[in-house]
Structures are given as structure tokens and as C-alpha cells.
Amino acid sequence: MIELNFSNMMEDVVGVNGLSGGIIENFRDRIEDAHKQIQDRAWPELAFIDLLSQDTSEIKNTARHIRETSENFLILGIGGSALGPRAILEAMSPFHNLRKKPRVFIYDNVDPRTLKHIISLVDLKTTSVNVISKSGSTAETAASFLILWNKMKKVLGREASNRFIVTTDPEKGNLRKIVNEEGLRSLIIPQGVVGRYSVLSSVGLLLAKVIGIDSDELLRGAMDIHKKCSDSELWQNPAYLFGVLLYLMDKEKHRTINVMVPYADSLKPLSEWFCQLWAESLGKEEKGLTPYPSLGATDQHSQLQLWTEGLQDKVIIFIRINDYGVDIKIPDIFKGTEGFNYLSGHTLSELIKAEEEATELALAKAGRPNMTIIIPQIDAYHLGQLFHFFEIAAAFIGALFGINPFNQPGVEEGKNLTYGMMGKKGFGAKRKEVEEHRAKRGKWKVNKLNLSQCPHNCKTN
Ligand code: PA5
């Protein structure tokens, strides 16, 4: 089971920048309200909790089919439809494509160079394409689907349809329509489950099975932590404690930035997944917590200076791994070099663990609040726990802020303006807005600015 150690968030350890048990206790009524909102399913999107007991037989059958027929597995999706699969891939099968088949590619952008590279690296005849989009209308995913569909049709003709697996809403959207019309293989993202809470649906579980990971273990881990995270008693509930500490750090101490620092390369994509969960769920109505992804021990040499002596606006969240599962001894050589001798005889896991503990302490000594999530090892069971733990915490913090942690109205405007520029029907006014703005932007450019013609009469000398 994952553990949360929050000693370094408390004033008796870090001094005035920490919180007291009393402040937390005084907050009990709000915590109970937030707990009630979750238990009563105040938002239908809390349906992500039901994923823990879903029937996974169709996902498993589909994964078996892909493994039997494919050398390459290409995911097309973005945001919650890609970050979760990538977190599972990297955590459970680092350097996957150099070691195993099917090779996995996750195309979660519309950068033409990346897609060109992927297409040049795979044989489309032996590639399965998993198009993932809950809404079925996201422009990036739609564009890459259209390109791949066209290319696969050219290479495989009618057979191409057998190489697509569409993961989308059970009833609605453009992709569901195409699934029905073309008779494509498909999986569902249950209604109510939104992108950034969907990693434990077919979105993440299919990829897990395709790369040979036990998806039942992901769900078992999530279910076990869920029991703890449903406890109404705050001091027994790690997700609520995590949430209330971060919330109070914002409200009481103006610490609005949450830095996520796993001490494992393979968990770096997990911290990116976490950042989306925090940013899209909590950043609204001029409230929220700003997430920022990092990596230990690597970023000790690029960011630690800022955390230790920069603005007092951050909480650092470490993920400590108790057992790396493998280890490498540091050899006893160059005996004459005093500066290396202390390392000899130790192992890399001893060193990385010492660095993590030392960084926690250095921050605590500098009065910088931090807390640590401890996982026994990186495996499917504990990865499932981490996903669900953060999801419950996000919903809980959203309730404390009094915002809806499941919508993302701030994403819409950019999408609508893009539709306008790309000529989508009904978005003509948006196109006009872009054109008007372009005219304003023309004035303030440094590369073409000729000072003799400066609108503010700046003179050249
Ligand atoms: O969390 C979310 O809802 C978003 O980040 C979506 O995952 C993202 O916008 C992609 O949406 P869709 O899966 O509908 O293509």
C-alpha cells in the first residue's frame, strides 16, 4: 500500500511555514462537506470510481487480437486520452520499443514531423491503430485519424478497417458514428468518465494488456486504495489529508505551486499525467493549484536551488520508491581518488534514496514544506493506487475550492478559435475575431520593426 508522510508540512518540523494540527482540525466541517459531495456523487463524473469494478473481458479480447496480429500499436489521442497510456507504458515497460513487440507509439500532437517519423518507422500492414477520444470531436485526434485512415486504406484496402480500434463514448460523437457505419472494433469510455479521470478505463487498460501488463492488478491496487480514500475520518484517509494539506497551504500560506518529483525515470510521465489532472481539474474561477512536473534526482541539478531559496510559493511532493527491484553496485576502483572512494561498495539505489531523503531534509531545514508519497515498488498494483489516489484527491480539492473539478471551460475558447481558422461550419465569427486580432498583432514585432517608422515616433540614432 502507498503511504503518505506529511511531517515536513507541519509547523513542529518546518517552523512557521508549516501547518498545525489545530488549523486542520478547525477545517473539519468543510472536509466533511467535501466528503459528502464525493460519497453522494454530487458530480456524475465521479463515475470514474465505478471503473474499479468494471468488466474488462472486451478489453482483454481486443488486446489479445492486437498482440496476435500486430508488430506496432499506434495510439492517436490527446490530453487525458494519451497521458494515462503513456504513464502506464513508461512506468511498466521502460525502453519498451527497444525490447518488445508490439512496439508502441503515442501520437498526441499534430506536429507533422512526429507523424512523418512514426509513419516511416512502422509497416502499416502490421500496425494496429487505437483512436482514443471521449468526445469524438477533438481536432487533433480527428486530424490524425483522418490521415491514418486514408493511408491505411491505400496500403490495405478494405482490410484497413480491421486494424482500427476506436475507444470513445458508448453512444455519442463522430467516432461512434463512424464505428457504427464502418463496423469498426471499438471499446467504450463510460458515460460520465472524463478524459483526465479515464486512465483506468479502456483508455489505459488496453495499452496495459497490449504490452503484457496485468490490468487486473492496476484495478486491484486502485480498489484497495479506494477503500482507504473513502474513509470519512480525515486522519485515516490519505487522499483527503493530501488534499487538505495542499488546500490549506494555498489558503493559509499562499503556496500555490505543487511540484511533483518522483525519484524514478519511469515515473516522469506519471508526473505529466498528474499535471494535467491538477491543471484542468483545479485551475478555474481564479482559483487552483499550479502543478509543475519534475524528476529526482536529475532536477536537483536544475531546480532544487529555486525550491530551496526561491519564492515561498511552493509545496514539493516527492515520490519515494522503497525497492527499485534491481540494483547496481558501484565498483571499488580508482582507489587513489579520495573524492570517489565514499561511493565504492554502495549501490545506485542506496545513492538515489539517500539523495531523496537528503533533499527532503534540506528543504525542511530551509523551512520549505514538502511531503512524500512512499511506494514499496513500481508495479501495476501500486501504479493503480497512485492513479486513483490522485484522482480522489483532485475531486476532493475541487470540492474544497467550491469548483467543478470535472469541466474545463477555459479550454473551449482556444478550440473554437481554431475551428474558426480551419473553416469549421458555424465558427465564422471566430475566424473574424482572429483576423481582427492579427491586425493588432502586426504593430508590435521586433524582427521587422523599422524604428524610423515606429508608431510611437521612436528615433533611430
Ligand atoms: O480531461 C479532459 O477531458 C481533456 O483533457 C480531454 O482528455 C482532451 O481534451 C481530449 O478529449 P477527447 O478524449 O474528447 O478527445
Q: Separation of 313 CA from ligand 1 center, angstroms?
A: 29
The average pLDDT across 142-152 equals 98
301 catalytically annotated: yes
Q: Separation of 82 CA from ligand 1 center, angstroms?
A: 9
Determine which residue's CA is closest to atom 3 belonging to ligand 1: 195
- Ligand 1 atom closest to Cα of 138? 15
What radius of gyration do the chain's Cα atoms show?
Answer: 25
Determine which residue's CA is closest to atom 13 belonging to ligand 1: 133
Check residue 412 and give its pLDDT: 87
For the stretch 73-106, pLDDT in tens is 999 999 999 999 999 999 999 999 999 999 999 9
For the stretch 109-141, pLDDT in tens is 999 999 999 999 999 999 999 999 999 999 999
pLDDT at 182 over 80: yes
For the stretch 296-305, pLDDT in tens is 999 999 999 9
The percentage of residues in the chain with a pLDDT greater than 90, rounded to a whole number, is 93
The average pLDDT across 211-238 equals 97
Query: For ligand 1, which residues put their CB under 6 angstroms from it?
Result: 78-81, 133-135, 138, 141, 194-196, 280, 408
Check residue 450 and give its pLDDT: 60
155 CB burial (10 A radius; 0-12, 13-18, 19+): middle
Helix (H) or strand (E) holding 406: none
The average pLDDT across 49-76 equals 98
Distance CA 76, CA 78 (A): 7
3-41+219-401 placed in CATH 3.40.50.10420? no
The average pLDDT across 438-449 equals 78
**Looking at the domain that runs over 55-189, which CATH code has it been given?**
3.40.50.10490
The percentage of residues in the chain with a pLDDT greater than 70, rounded to a whole number, is 97
Check residue 445 and give its pLDDT: 80
Distance CA 70, CA 128 (A): 6
For the stretch 289-346, pLDDT in tens is 999 999 999 999 999 999 999 999 999 999 999 999 999 999 999 988 989 999 999 9
Long-range contacts of 148-157 (CB under 8 A, 24+ apart): 148/74, 148/76, 151/119, 151/124, 152/124, 152/127, 155/124, 155/125, 156/124, 156/125
Check residue 451 and give its pLDDT: 58
Residue 13 CA, distance from chain mean position:
31
Tell me where in the chain the CATH 3.40.50.10490 domain(s) lie.
Answer: 3-41+219-401, 55-189
State the pTM of this model. 0.95
Which candidate in 65, 172, 228, 415 is catalytic? 415
Distance CA 29, CA 388 (A): 24
Check residue 461 and give its pLDDT: 44
**Pocket of ligand 1, candidates 43, 81, 110, 175: which has the most ligand atoms within 8 Å of its Cβ, to mutate?**
81
**Pocket of ligand 1, candidates 131, 134, 273: which has the most ligand atoms within 8 Å of its Cβ, to mutate?**
134
Distance CA 418, CA 434 (A): 9
Q: Separation of 59 CA from ligand 1 center, angstroms?
A: 20
pLDDT at 442 over 90: no
- pLDDT level of residue 178 (50, 70, 90 thresholds): very high
Q: Separation of 78 CA from ligand 1 center, angstroms?
A: 6
Determine which residue's CA is closest to atom 15 belonging to ligand 1: 133
338 catalytically annotated: no
- pLDDT level of residue 457 (50, 70, 90 thresholds): low
Q: How many CB atoms lie within 10 A of CB 415?
A: 16
Q: Out of 243-247, 387-391, 420-424, pick the least confident.
A: 420-424
φ, ψ dihedrals at 51, nearest 5°: -60, -25
Residue 192, classed as helix, strand or coil, is coil
Residues in CB range of 242: below 8 A, 6 or more apart = 4, 6, 371, 373, 389, 393
Q: Separation of 134 CA from ligand 1 center, angstroms?
A: 7
- pLDDT level of residue 360 (50, 70, 90 thresholds): very high
335 catalytically annotated: no
Check residue 103 and give its pLDDT: 98
Q: Are 255 and 290 contacting, i.e. CB atoms less than 8 angstroms apart?
A: no
For the stretch 260-285, pLDDT in tens is 999 999 999 999 999 999 999 999 99
For the stretch 380-410, pLDDT in tens is 999 999 999 999 999 999 999 999 999 999 9
| Mean pLDDT (the chain, rounded) | 95
